[in-house]
């Protein structure tokens, strides 16, 4: 780089920093009142910018010119574990042609940073935020992979676990060794006085498998805050050193070519005694600062929030058009309501939830999915259930037993996760295909049941792809992958029923995707039709999306309008033939008859 080019890029960084400086300084000092720490943050940002590779700076420029790139109709995602799909990062890079065959534009790899083994919560207990786990490769392998993915038109998403570190992280090890500086990176207490005050108000995340919010550290002789598991120590964001260190790691990942950061468990990151420690204002201050740091150093990078909260809590995590926070969120509530509608043949709760999300401001954008690495937590809108005459607890029990396969007439095969006898709460595990009935039909050699199960599977994929946002597959869904019951034979995996849907990718089944008459071919072709559907102008970022009433609670009707065109998606969630009276934009109605589990897209 010539001195003139260096001066130009330095000017660009200074221009971006100047744009955000006053707000960033105000928010930082509001939290920390520490001007020296603010200087450290700005120095960290400048160093990361200087180290940013030229090709990524070119990407920054293109994304600044096209800020809604992640809202295009051609966005189509997939999430996977590197080891289960390919073994390691180098081998995954060799599989990129398979991803291109599906026209993927977005790949979310489950946590791959250095972690303890075997207790790592699926990689969400991280002991080094700056290095790839040796079992999966090296930082050089990750940078090479992101470069190859970019060339293929695929943006890489990685998790950034903001709330906690592994108890084996170097900070935690220093804290255990008695270093007061690093004990202040966490929330540590000599006795139970403050922990008891905390526990009196703050709900437990895993009351059955990891009760309480604190863990005794024998090495420190202190209680340490652990909201999730005892081996995951919550970070203390009251300490500016924690925030700056985490920003340094974020920028390091960005400079390795990561384009999307899924910030994990973000509602929990700020703790305030006397509150439930969820969704506090300081959380939004931190996320807003993170957004400004990225826009200054690496504006190609976008934030995806994991916010498992009610719709009324979601808008705040997007910020405002003038002061944005997350670019997009996981659409957890729609996922749950889709499965509820499928079990009940009743779309009323689903429609109400879609309406609530569509009522959010235009800057709110979602990643829509059916299954992911996690369980299905039955967090339905209880007030809406009661309004509809549905008993929330009985409905939840019905759903998790239905998808366990224990309700008469159930087609599903799955398992419970985190069943709590006291509260009768439980979550559900299983692959999309198995929960839709494919596995049971294959076991019983019931061809009509198998056809119906595939209809359900395709219905769910078509419906989730028609909603506001873009769809993300769980790897294996595209080849109708079934539950991996062999996890029960692995002593390191048997205790976590989520491993039921975390099994090795079946490459032999994948070969059948080109063979007519196979389930894999049927699903592959069905997903290709989904992508063709999303090529329509009605899937542009500015498209208007709304639900319609069609006089039948078994049918979900969603309308999309853009550039003078109107598409209506009709989705029959029942096992019977259903009729729908579709209101037309110019007046009048169109009567449509739908076969069991039929999705139909009509242009009006």
- Which residues are part of the catalytic machinery? 264, 306
Strands 565-572 and 555-562: antiparallel
The token pair that represents 117 in the structure block: 């083994």
CA-CA distance, 441 to 447, in Å (whole number)?
7
Q: How far is the CA of 113 from the CAs of 116, 172, 346, 528, in angstroms?
A: 10, 17, 42, 33
Number of helices (H), then strands (E), belonging to the chain: the values are 22, 24
Residues 6 or more apart in contact with residue 54 via CB below 8 angstroms: 1
CA-CA distance, 149 to 151, in Å (whole number)?
5
The token pair that represents 28 in the structure block: 């930082």
Nearest to 287 by CA among 275, 308, 277, 302: 302
If you write DSSP's letter for every residue of 33-56 in order, what string do you get? --HHHHHHHHHHHHHHHHHS-HHH
For the chain, first and last CA: distance in Å? Answer: 56
Strands 128-132 and 113-114: antiparallel
The token pair that represents 309 in the structure block: 């909260």
Q: How far is the CA of 203 from the CAs of 207, 234, 269, 452, in angstroms?
A: 9, 15, 15, 41
Neighbours of 28 (CB within 10 A): 23
CA-CA distance, 450 to 458, in Å (whole number)?
12
Q: How far is the CA of 469 from the CAs of 91, 334, 339, in angstroms?
A: 31, 11, 18
User: Cα angle at 123 between 217 and 477, to 5 degrees?
Assistant: 150
Residue 478: DSSP 8-state: G
**Alpha helix segments (H runs only) across 33-162:** 35-51, 54-65, 82-85, 89-94, 96-101, 139-151
Please report which helix (H) or strand (E) contains residue 324, including its range. none
| Bond prior to 118 in cis (omega within 30° of 0) | yes
Nearest to 111 by CA among 129, 93, 87: 129
């Amino acid at each position: 780089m010539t001195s003139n080019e260096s001066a130009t890029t330095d000017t660009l960084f200074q221009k971006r920093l100047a744009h955000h400086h006053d707000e960033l300084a105000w928010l930082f000092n509001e939290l920390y009142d520490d001007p020296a720490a603010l200087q450290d943050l700005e120095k960290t940002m400048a160093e990361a910018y200087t180290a940013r590779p030229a090709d990524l700076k070119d990407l920054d420029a293109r994304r600044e010119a096209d800020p809604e790139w992640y809202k295009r109709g051609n966005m189509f995602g997939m999430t996977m574990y590197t080891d289960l799909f390919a073994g390691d990062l180098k081998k995954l890079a060799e599989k990129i042609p398979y991803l291109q065959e599906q026209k993927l534009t977005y790949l979310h790899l489950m946590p791959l940073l250095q972690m303890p083994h075997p207790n790592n919560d699926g990689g969400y207990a991280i002991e080094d935020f700056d290095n790839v786990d040796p079992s999966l490769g090296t930082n050089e392998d990750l940078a090479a992979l992101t470069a190859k993915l970019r060339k293929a038109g695929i943006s890489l998403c990685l998790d950034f676990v903001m709330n906690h570190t592994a108890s084996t992280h170097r900070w935690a090890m220093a804290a255990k060794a008695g270093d007061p500086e690093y004990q202040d990176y966490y929330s540590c207490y000599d006795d139970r006085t403050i922990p008891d005050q905390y526990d009196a108000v703050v709900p437990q995340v895993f009351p059955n498998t990891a009760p309480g919010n604190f863990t005794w550290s024998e090495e420190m002789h202190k209680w340490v805050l652990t909201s999730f598991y005892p081996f995951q120590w919550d970070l203390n964001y009251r300490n500016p050193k924690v925030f700056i260190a985490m920003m340094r790691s974020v920028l390091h990942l960005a400079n390795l070519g990561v384009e999307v950061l899924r910030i994990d468990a973000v509602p929990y990151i700020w703790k305030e005694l006397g509150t439930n420690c969820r969704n506090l204002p300081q959380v939004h201050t931190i996320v807003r600062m993170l957004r400004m740091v990225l826009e200054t150093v690496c504006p190609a990078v976008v934030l995806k929030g994991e916010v498992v909260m009610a719709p009324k809590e979601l808008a705040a995590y997007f910020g405002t058009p003038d002061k944005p926070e997350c670019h997009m969120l996981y659409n957890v509530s729609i996922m749950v309501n889709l499965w509820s509608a499928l079990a009940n043949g009743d779309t009323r709760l689903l429609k109400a939830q879609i309406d609530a999300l569509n009522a959010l401001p235009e800057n709110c954008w979602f990643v829509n999915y059916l299954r992911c690495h996690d369980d299905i937590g039955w967090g339905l809108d209880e007030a809406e259930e009661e309004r509809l005459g549905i008993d929330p607890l009985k409905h939840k029990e019905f759903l998790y037993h239905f998808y366990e396969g224990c309700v008469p007439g159930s087609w599903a095969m799955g398992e419970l996760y985190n069943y709590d006898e006291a509260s009768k709460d439980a979550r559900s595990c299983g692959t999309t295909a198995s929960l839709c009935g494919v596995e049971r039909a294959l076991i019983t050699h019931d061809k009509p049941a198998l056809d119906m199960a595939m209809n359900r599977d395709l219905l769910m994929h078509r419906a989730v792809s028609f909603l506001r946002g873009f769809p993300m597959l769980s790897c294996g869904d595209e080849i109708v992958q079934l539950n991996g019951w062999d996890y029960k034979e692995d002593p390191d995996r048997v205790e976590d029923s989520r491993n039921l849907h975390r099994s090795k990718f079946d490459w032999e089944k994948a070969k059948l995707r080109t063979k007519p008459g196979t389930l894999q071919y049927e699903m592959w072709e069905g997903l290709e039709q989904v992508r063709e559907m999303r090529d329509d102008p009605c899937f542009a970022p500015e498209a208007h999306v709304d639900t319609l009433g069609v006089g039948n609670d078994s049918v979900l009707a969603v309308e999309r309008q853009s550039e003078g065109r109107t598409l209506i998606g009709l989705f029959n969630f029942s096992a019977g033939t259903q009729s729908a009276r579709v209101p037309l934009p110019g007046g009048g109605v169109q009567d449509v008859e739908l076969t069991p589990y039929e999705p139909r897209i009509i242009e009006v």
